[in-house]
A and B are shown apart, each in its own frame.
Chain A
C-alpha cells in the first residue's frame, strides 16, 4: 500500500517539503530502490544489469531521491498513484543512463528459457561466494575484538542505531562513537586487505 494511501496529511506535508515526512518516505522505499539498483531488472527479453560498484549504488540512490524530492516533482505528485513504482521507475531510468554514460551496454540478452528458469534476478554464484568469504572474514575479525567494540558493532551496524542513539545506549560520547567507527572500519579494511584475493568485478568482466 502506498505511503500516502488515504493520508492527506502526509501528502500535504510531503508537498510542502516537511523534513520528517521526507525522511519517512525515504526509509519506506530506500531498500526497494537500492535493490533495483544493485540487482538490476528485467526489460522484456533483456536483463538490465545492476551497478558494478557499491559506491555507485549509494550515489544513484541519492540521485533517485534528489529527483523525487525536487519541489516540482513533489508538487506534481497527486497522491492517487502508488509512490513506490514511481520511485522505481526513476531508479530504472537512472541505471540505464548510468551504463550508457560509461559507454557500456546496460542490457544482457537472456533467452526465454533462461527467463523461465529464473523467477528473479539471482546473485551470480561467484559474487555470492565472494560475499560469503568476506562476511566470514569479517565475523572472525569481529570475534577477536574487545567486548566493548563488539557491543558497539552490534548497536551501530547491526541494529543500525544513529550515532546519538548508540552513544546513549552505550553510555559514551558521540565522539567516542565516531572514534570506534573509524577504528573498526580501518581495522577491518586492513584485515581484509591482507587476505583479500577477490577480483574486482571490472577485472572479471562480470556484473
Chain B
C-alpha cells in the first residue's frame, strides 16, 4: 500500500474513510471548477486586469486578414483567434514570465494548431492537433504558452490554424505557407513581447 497523503491523513484521523482534510481539498476543487465554468472567462480577471486586457485588445492589430475560406461550414462563424497575456492570472503586457492564453472561436472546425514567427523569422511551435471539443471551455484553450527566454523582445506573428482533421507540423507549415490549401483556415495575430 503506497503511503500517499490521503492514506496518511486517514491514519492520523483514525478513520478508514476519506479524511476531513481530503474532503476540504475535494470540495475546494469542485467549487472552483464548477463556479469557474459558469463565469465568462473575462470575469475571472481583476478590474484593473480587465482594463489591461481591453487596452491590449485595442492595441492588438491583426496584420493579415485572410480571405474567407469557402470551406468554412455554412451557418458557422468564421474561426478566430484572440490572444491575452497574463501574469499570475491577471491580464498584463506580454513579457518573459507571462502566460499566453488563446481564446478561439472554432467556427465549425475541430482541431487547432498554433505557432509564432519572431522578429528574426524564427518559428516557435506552441501546439498542434489540439482537439477543441476537449480542450476549450467557453472558447479559452486549457493549454497556454509560457513566454520564456525563447521569446526575444519584439513583434511576433502568431498563426492559428483551424482544421477539420488533426494536422502534424509539416501539414500545418504547408498550410501556413500556402493558405489556398483546402479544408482549414489560417488566422494571424500580432504579439508584442515587451522587455
Contacts and interface: CB of A to CB of B under 8 A. Distances in A.
A associates with B? yes
Interface of A: 17, 19, 22-23, 26-27, 30-31, 34-35, 38, 53-55, 57-58, 61-62, 65-66, 69-71, 130-131, 134-135, 138, 142, 153, 156-158, 160-162, 181, 184-185, 188-189, 192-193, 196, 198-201
A164 B1 CA distance: 31
Contacts of A135: 11, 14
B39 to A, nearest CB: 10
Contacts of B11: 134-135, 138, 188, 192
A66 B34 contact: yes
Contact of B16 (A27, A131, A189): A131
B20 interface: yes
B22 A70 contact: no
Contact of A17 (B14, B16, B29, B35): B35
Contact of A192 (B3, B26, B33): B3
Given A17-B35, A130-B1, A157 B21 contact: yes
Interface of B: 1-14, 16-27, 29-31, 33-35, 37-38
Contacts, number: 113
B12 A198 contact: no
B13 A61 contact: no
Contact of A157 (B7, B13, B26, B31): B13
B82 to A, nearest CB: 24
Given A69-B30, A188-B11, A160 B20 contact: yes
A77 B31 CA distance: 18
B21 A53 contact: no
B192 to A, nearest CB: 37
A19 B4 contact: no
A157 B3 contact: no
B19 A65 contact: no
Classify the interface of chain A: helix, strand, loop or mixed: helix
B34 A22 contact: yes
Nearest to A30: B23
B1 A31 contact: no
Given A54-B10, A201-B1, A26 B18 contact: no
B37 A157 contact: no
Nearest to B1: A198
A185 B1 CA distance: 16
Given A71-B37, A157-B19, A23 B1 contact: no
Nearest to A74: B34
Contacts of A22: 30-31, 34
24 contacts: A30-B27, A31-B17, A34-B18, A38-B17, A57-B6, A58-B6, A58-B22, A61-B26, A66-B30, A66-B33, A66-B34, A70-B34, A134-B11, A135-B14, A138-B11, A142-B12, A157-B13, A157-B14, A160-B23, A185-B8, A188-B12, A189-B8, A196-B3, A200-B1
B134 to A, nearest CB: 16
A193 B3 CA distance: 8
A74 to B, nearest CB: 9
Nearest to B12: A157
The 9 closest A-B pairs by CB, nearest first: A160-B20, A157-B12, A138-B11, A157-B13, A34-B18, A54-B6, A65-B30, A69-B34, A62-B26
A69 B26 CA distance: 13
Given A55-B6, A58-B25, 7 more contacts: A17-B38, A55-B2, A58-B18, A138-B14, A157-B12, A160-B20, A189-B8
Nearest to A192: B3
Contacts of A70: 34, 37
A55 B18 contact: no
A66 B35 CA distance: 10
B34 A27 contact: no
